[in-house]
Amino acid sequence: MLSQSLRARLLMAPALLWLTAFMVVPCLLILALGFFRRGIYGGVDYTFTFENFRLLADPLYLGIFLHSARVAGTATLIAVVVGYAAAYAIAGAPRRWQGMLLFLAVLPFWSNYLIRTYAWIVLLNREGLITQGLRMLGYEGEPPSMLYTEGAVIVGLVYNYLPFVILACYAPLSRLNPELAEASRDLGAGAFTTFRRVVLPQTLAGVAAGAVFVFVLSIGNFITPALLGGGKFQMVGNLVYAQFLTANDWPFGAALSMVLIAIMMVLLMAQAWGTAKGMGERNG
C-alpha cells in the first residue's frame, strides 16, 4: 500500500511538472534573455550585456512607462471607486438577490475580452451609436473624435476589469459582521464615520489586492490600447509585443516583460506587507 504522502505527491507530480516545463522554465529563459544582445538580423547574440536594462532608462521608454502607469492608474482608480460602490450596494441588497446580482456583475468578465473591447469600437467610432445619439439631440457638424483617444483606452480598461473589482470588493464586504456597523452606530458614530472607521478598514485588504491586479493587467495590456487607442497610445504591453513581432529585438522585449513582473511583485509584496501591518495594529 502506498503511503498517504507518496500518493499525494504522485497525484501532484504531473501538473507540477507541466507548470515547471511550460511556465517556470520559459519565464527563467526570458529572465536570461534580457541579459543578451540582439542579433544583427534579429535573433539573439549570446553575449552578456546590461544594455537592455540601461535602455529602459532612456527618456523615450521612461516616458512610455510613466504614461502607461498614468493611464493604468487612472483606470484602476475609477474601477476601484465604482467597483467598491457597486459591491457595497450588492452586499446591502436582500440576501436572496445578492448571488444573482453578483453573478450578473461578474458574467461579462467571463466573455471574450476582444469582443468586449470591440463593443466599444461600435459605440465610439465616428459613425457609432454615441455620435448618432448626439445628432438626434440636434448636434451638428463634425462629430467629436472619441475612438483612438486616451479616454477610450481608460473606458475600455475600466469596462473590462470592473467585474473583477466588484468581485474582489464583495468578498470582504459580505464577510463583514453587520453587528459591527450597528455597534458603531449604537456608540454614536454617524453613517459616514461608521463607514470610514469600521467598514473600510476591514475591507481594505481585499480592495488593495483587486487594485494591484487591475493595475498590473492594465499596464501590461496590449489589446485595449491596440484597438481603442489606435496604436497611438502605447502601454508597456504594446511595447513588449512590438519587440517580438515587429522590431525583432527579443532581448529588449524580455527585459521589458521583466519590468512588468517586477512591478507586479513589488505591488503584491507592498499589499501583503500593508495587510500584515494592518493586522498587527489590530492585534496589538
Partner 1 sequence: MVRLGRAALLLAVLGFLYVPIGVLVALSFNESGLATVWTGFSVRWYGALLANADILAAALNTLVVGLISTLVATVLGTALALGIEARARKGRAVEALIFAPMIIPDIVLAIALLSFFSILKVPMGLHTIILAHVVFNLAFVSAVVRARLKTFDWSVTEASGDLGADGFTTFRRVTLPLILPAVIAGALLAFTLSVDEFIIAFFTAGAGRSSTTLPMQIFAMIRFGVTPEINALAALVMAVSVTAVTLAQRLNRGVIAP
User: What binding mask, one character per residue, do residues 65-94 give for partner 1 by CB under 8 A, x or -?
Assistant: -----------------x--xx--xx-xx-
Supply the minimum distance, in Å, between the C-beta of residue 280 and partner 1: 20
Number of other CB atoms surrounding residue 232 within 10 Å: 10
Closest distance to partner 1 from the beta carbon of 164 (Å): 11
Cα Rg of the chain, angstroms: 23
Among 50, 54, 62, 108, binds partner 1 (CB under 8 A): 108
Q: Which is nearer to partner 1, 204 or 228 (CB)?
A: 228
Q: Using CA atoms, how far apart are residues 150 and 243, in angstroms rounded to an integer?
A: 22
Site string for partner 1, 159-178 (x = CB under 8 A): x--xx--xx------x----
Q: What share of the chain is helix, strand, coil (3-state, %, to 5)?
A: 75, 5, 20
Does 205 bind partner 1 (CB under 8 A)? Our answer is: no
- CA nearest neighbour of 69 among 219, 213, 209: 219
| Phi and psi, residue 37, nearest 5° | -95, 155
Report angle CA 234, 245, 43 to the nearest 5 degrees.
125
Q: Is 23 in the site for partner 1 (CB under 8 A)?
A: yes
In the bound state with partner 1, the residue whose beta carbon lies nearer, of 126 and 277, is 126
Asked if residues 259 and 47 have their Cβ atoms less than 8 Å apart, the reply is no
Q: Of residues 175-204, which lie at the interface with partner 1 (CB under 8 A)?
A: none
User: Shortest approach of partner 1 to residue 113 CB, angstroms?
Assistant: 7
Cell digits of residue 91: 452586499
* CA gap 204, 193 in Å, rounded: 16
Applying CB under 8 A, does 36 fall inside the site for partner 1? no
Show contacts with partner 1 in window 255-274 (CB under 8 A).
257, 260-261, 264, 268
Binding mask 127-146 for partner 1 (x = CB under 8 A): xxx--x--------------
CB of 268 to partner 1, least distance (A): 8
Q: Which residue, 44 or 278, is less far from partner 1 as judged by CB?
A: 44
Range 212-251, binding partner 1 (CB under 8 A)? 213, 216-217, 220-223, 227, 237, 240-241, 244, 250
Q: How far apart are CA 103 and CA 166, in angstroms?
A: 10
5 touching partner 1, by CB under 8 A: yes
Distance CA 274, CA 205 (A): 8
**Residue 147: burial class (beta carbons within 10 Å; 0-12, 13-18, 19+):** buried
**From 40, 57, 115, 137, residue interacting with partner 1 (rule: CB under 8 A):** 115
